[in-house]
Amino acid sequence: MKTKTLSKNTIFFTDVLEEAYFRKAWHGPNLHSSLKGVTANDALRRPSKGRHNIYEITVHTSYWIYRVMQRIRKDPGIKFPLKGTNWFESPNTLSGAEWIKQKKLLNSLHEELYNLIPDLNKELRNKPENEKQKITRLLIGIAMHDVYHAGQIQLIKKLIS
């Protein structure tokens, strides 16, 4: 991820987001590293019938990064590049190129959110318009969301191997 000069008020949130997604974490694999080595075929395999696969979890996490940015920016006009909301059904087949595209989307959305934080310095403790949560809660929540799904992906990898 790109680094910017950060204020004391934003360094905590950038650290938390980095550790949940990209930087080596004390708790084990973060979301980015949990996807390493996952092939397109692996991404479509389900641990059991009716359970989400790695592809669906990846797109789901991308969607929620997008939603957090949409809420923080107070811009309902920002659009997610895929049709749907929350959980997206995986395709029947997945090319390696399409799988890479989904992982790049997740990475670029994380980088965009990370780079948005320094601009929020004075707004971090505010609630975006029509939101129940402060920006600080949204940022901590999305980091927890990443770590939760990184754990799910690790379990699925074990179950499908």
Predicted confidence at residue 9, as pLDDT, reads 65
Q: What is the mean pLDDT of the chain?
A: 89
What lies within 8 Å, CB to CB, of 46 at 6+ separation is 52, 53, 160
What token pair was written down for 90? 């995986």
Residue 8: band (very low, low, confident or very high) from pLDDT cuts 50, 70, 90: low
Q: Which amino acid is at 55?
A: Y
Query: What global pTM score does this model have?
Result: 0.89
Residue 148 has pLDDT above 60, yes or no: yes
Segment of 24-38, 69-83, 96-110 carrying the highest mean pLDDT: 96-110
Domains of the chain: 8-160 (1.20.120.450)
Q: By CB neighbour count within 10 A (0-12 exposed, 13-18 middle, 19+ buried), where does 54 fall?
A: buried
Q: Angle 36-149-154 (CA atoms, 0-180°, nearest 5)?
A: 50
Contact 40, 98 (CB under 8 A): yes
pLDDT in tens, 40-78: 999 999 999 999 999 999 999 999 999 999 988 887 778
- Dist CA 49 CA 52 (whole Å): 9
